[in-house]
Structure 1
Amino acid sequence: MINPHYGNIPPSYLFSEVATRVRTFQDANPDQRILRLGIGDVTRPLAPAVVEALQDAVQEQASDATFRGYGPEQGYAFLRDAIIAGEYAPIGTAITAEEVFVGDGSKTDTAGVQELFDADARVAVSDPVYPVYVDSNALAGRLGEFVGGKWSRLTYLDCIESNGYRPSLPEAPVDLVYLCSPNNPTGTSLSRSDLEQWVTWARENDAVILFDAAYRAFITDDSAPRSIYEIEGAEEVAIEFGSFSKTAGFTGLRCSWTVVPKALRREGASLHAMWSRRHATKFNGTPYIVQRAAEAIYSPEGREQVQADIDYYMRNAGLIREALNASGVAAVGGRNAPYVWFRCPGGLDSWEFFDRLLAEIQVVGTPGVGFGPAGADHFRLSAFGSHEDTLEAVARLTTLIPALGRTDSSPVLVRSES
């Protein structure tokens, strides 16, 4: 009568456990100032151009002549056209507005896309991984049993120091692969050569790549594509997800897009048509005022203002990475993404390191084990705090880490991330 897979999935305790430990420490030490470098939410306010567009759209809703009710489920044409003009045309892709679907967040879209595929479809994810990729497939009953910290029918593509924290091609057959670039949590990005190999592999194995590009706007390295559709043939093997959440501070407004090319077909079926049907069945569309706000990001003023916020966060990321490297810790990320990833110093596991940071220097990060088994001895720090807090936090880090001892391994040279 009920879905049994909800009972099989382990509880998602990472962030609740982080909150509990921080609250317990703060209650016992009310005078201590805690600096949060684990935050995955943005802290900068919305760009003025976005706020103005929101206000104008609200005024439209107050008039009989301009009021909007239900909109097209796929998204208003003005935003779909803006996404093409702002995201895809400049990089030379042939994606069209009809292939863009506006949503309310890439988490929603990446969780829902698995519904297009058979319950027996074989899935691969990078490890560590954004948890929603795994959990959505587990709730669909696609991953088997959870034993010893792993799902029995899930292929884990370890992202470890020896491969530069980038997933290798699957050795066993799989039908679906989730790729995230720039990556959350590792902060690494896939190069053009990397993606060419993935697209070739998918074409040869009749697999589908689910490509999460939520952090594409943070890319500064020309060797890292902003879209998988920059690779020839990708439109026949890949679905891509984009988001305004971190790019433009829409974590509270909620707006995203998914590209499902018309050329993507499996077993004679159009995945574009299937996603359109699912989208219309389960979704009444992102609010009009939010879509107008998203459109404003692509205005000259909006672009300049949003880029200033991205630069602000990336300045923080650089401070964190450089402080870790100066302390003898080989960190990756922080160049094309707002996250920095590293092995915990002194042989500590990720929760032990979390507790040391909190107790001794009052800095909070995110234990890597919460992103998968390969993250058990790693840690993620985020650049989404204020610049002032980041400066103070890295000063505290540089006092603690040398006392713990450097990581067991030597610094890793990681292609575009090093």
Structure 2
Amino acid sequence: MYQVQLSACTSIRPSVMLKPRMVQQSREVVQKEQRRVDHRTRVPRNENLEKLRNGYLFPEIAMREAEHLQKYPNFKLINLGIGDTTEPIPDIITSSMVEQAQALSTLEGYRGYGPEHGNKALRKAIADVVYKGLKVKDTEVFVSDGAQCDISRLQLLLGSNVTIAVQDPSFPAYIYSGVIIGQAGEFQEETGKYWNIEYMKCGPQNNLFPNLLTTSRTDVIFFCSPNNPTGHAASRNQLEQLVEFARKNGSIIIYDSAYAAYISDDNSPRSIFEIPGAREVAIEVSSFSKFAGFTGVRLGWTVVPEELLFANGFPVIKDFNRIVYTCFNGASSIAQAGGLACLSPEGLMAIRQVIDYYKENAKILIDTFELLGLKAYGGKNAPYIWVHFPGSRSWDVFDEILEKTHVVTVPGRGFGPGGEEYVRVSAFGHREIILEASKRLKNLYR
């Protein structure tokens, strides 16, 4: 590299001659650079990271999206892919965050580190409002910077010697965090699955719920309802089966309820703790991201019941408390002020209007796919629509929709082998964008 630069320099200014000492110094610089490039530490790479296959789903989609924009710079791209909220956070919530931020500039209002497990007022509000009547204590609530971060902390809590089960299809983070921590075993190219993970098929033939009669026993069961990506909210009867299955097998359920606020079906519980016996077998992870628009604010929580015990009788909550103290310095005080405002009567009313807006978007998209003769699931209790394209590869469908309509979706295969032949479509978006996407899809598939 340096030799090329030197020769270029002499060709531009031929009157400048390099002295032998300068040439020697340049050679030494080149040799030093080469040694720097070639140098390796003696630290081995985490072998579990080597087991990860392909890129993470959403960065791969972003790369294809960028390539498409470069190819079609004059077309307006519509993104119905990644599940990011789009509508402004209600003023009653942001004003609380502004007030908290301004207080930090005063001697009276300044606060440094807060409790790692969250401000007591917010923990109590989550217990009293979100889990009203379910006997969840504020001391069992751990406030965090989001559900996905808590999934990784829970994996650290559980360790590498446990076996895990996931819904198929499911949110990729459950699997990838399991791979990284060492729970997954080798990847099987022929099946698209990891050897040591139990994939619970959740297709239409099973009402988007696993057949527990054929599901092998594992230590941990990751379960999301309403499900991402299928949008299915498990019924009370289904969750009763799941809790009984976990109790019978001595398993722990990690229950992701991040989309619970979208449930409008009285037969679908918003929390696993509505099911008798769940406090002895379940941990619940949730978030302000999708129901309050906090995807950029970052705030979530995890509930660990006192009754939940390890095989040796040690309370799980004590170990998770240690994990939190060790790995986390607490959620932002500004974000927590916003979370507290979300759970006020006025905040809940304002948030409900935004959720209803997204659900109306979902109805528009469901009606569109049904008009086109395509079977669509979800959308009623969740902001996602799971669309079936029989006999097609999901990445091929993704590419066709992107190429011909300039609409971004998510290929179902990215959520596991059970997602083949499907794409996930997000209802997050401004109304005019949703209507335009509907128009483009009708033009493509009519």
Please say if 1:254 is aligned against 2:298. yes
2:147 counterpart (97, 106, 112): 106
Which one-letter code corresponds to 2:206 in the other structure?
A: N
The Cα shift of 1:21 comes to 2.3
2:178 counterpart (115, 134, 137): 137
**Structure 1 CA distance, aligned partners of 2:80 and 2:159?**
39
2:24 is aligned to none
1:399 is aligned to 443
**Structure 2 CA distance, aligned partners of 1:289 and 1:21?**
36
CA contact (8 A) 1:6 1:139 kept: yes
1:416 is aligned to none
Which one-letter code corresponds to 2:52 in the other structure?
A: I
Deviations 1:286-337 (A, max 9, x none): 0111101100001222112111111111110111111111211111100000
2:32 is aligned to none
The Cα shift of 1:11 comes to 3.5
2:373 is aligned to 328
1:22 is aligned to 65
1:407 is aligned to none
2:92 counterpart (35, 40, 49): 49
1:96 is aligned to 137
**Structure 2 CA distance, aligned partners of 1:13 and 1:71?**
33
2:278 is aligned to 234
Alignment of 1:160-175 (within 5 A): 160-169=203-212, 171-175=215-219
SS at match of 1:264: coil
**Structure 2 CA distance, aligned partners of 1:116 and 1:27?**
44
SS at match of 2:423: strand
**Structure 2 CA distance, aligned partners of 1:76 and 1:15?**
33
CA contact (8 A) 2:165 2:197 kept: yes
2:229 is aligned to 185
2:198 is aligned to 155
The Cα shift of 1:183 comes to 0.6
1:409 is aligned to none
2:21 is aligned to none
**Structure 2 CA distance, aligned partners of 1:274 and 1:388?**
48
CA contact (8 A) 1:39 1:385 kept: no
CA contact (8 A) 1:181 1:213 kept: yes
Deviations 1:386-416 (A, max 9, x none): 11110111122122223xxxxxxxxxxxxxx
2:386 is aligned to 341
Please say if 1:6 is aligned against 2:53. no
Deviations 1:192-224 (A, max 9, x none): 000111111111111000000000111110111
The Cα shift of 1:46 comes to 1.4
Which one-letter code corresponds to 1:317 in the other structure?
A: A
**Structure 1 CA distance, aligned partners of 2:251 and 2:60?**
37
CA contact (8 A) 2:236 2:275 kept: yes
Q: Which range moved further: 9-18 or 320-329?
A: 9-18
The Cα shift of 1:36 comes to 1.4
Q: TM-score, normalised by structure 2?
A: 0.87
Alignment of 1:290-301 (within 5 A): 290-301=335-346
SS at match of 1:185: coil
Which one-letter code corresponds to 2:358 in the other structure?
A: Y
**Structure 1 CA distance, aligned partners of 2:59 and 2:286?**
27
Which one-letter code corresponds to 1:59 in the other structure?
A: Q
The Cα shift of 1:161 comes to 2.0
- Which structure is higher in RCO with an 8 Å CA cutoff and minimum separation 6? 1
1:176 counterpart (220, 238, 243): 220
SS at match of 1:356: helix
Q: TM-score, normalised by structure 1?
A: 0.93
SS at match of 1:27: helix
SS at match of 1:251: coil
Identity of counterpart residues, as a percentage? 42
Which one-letter code corresponds to 2:65 in the other structure?
A: V
The Cα shift of 1:121 comes to 1.2
Q: Which runs of 5+ in 1 are unaligned?
A: 403-418
The Cα shift of 1:35 comes to 1.5
CA contact (8 A) 1:112 1:136 kept: no
**Structure 2 CA distance, aligned partners of 1:197 and 1:117?**
24
Please say if 1:206 is aligned against 2:250. yes
Please say if 1:65 is aligned against 2:108. yes
Which one-letter code corresponds to 1:68 in the other structure?
A: R
**Structure 1 CA distance, aligned partners of 2:152 and 2:337?**
25
The Cα shift of 1:13 comes to 4.0
CA contact (8 A) 1:182 1:189 kept: yes
CA gap 1:20/1:119 in 2 versus in 1, 3 angstroms? closer
SS at match of 1:101: strand
2:415 is aligned to 371
CA contact (8 A) 2:288 2:294 kept: yes
CA contact (8 A) 2:200 2:215 kept: no
**Structure 2 CA distance, aligned partners of 1:356 and 1:287?**
42
2:187 counterpart (121, 146, 149): 146
Which one-letter code corresponds to 1:291 in the other structure?
A: Q
Please say if 1:86 is aligned against 2:136. no
The Cα shift of 1:142 comes to 1.1
**Structure 2 CA distance, aligned partners of 1:210 and 1:17?**
27
The Cα shift of 1:80 comes to 0.5
SS at match of 2:61: helix
1:280 counterpart (325, 329, 346): 325
**Structure 2 CA distance, aligned partners of 1:112 and 1:118?**
10
Larger Rg: 2
**Structure 2 CA distance, aligned partners of 1:125 and 1:297?**
31
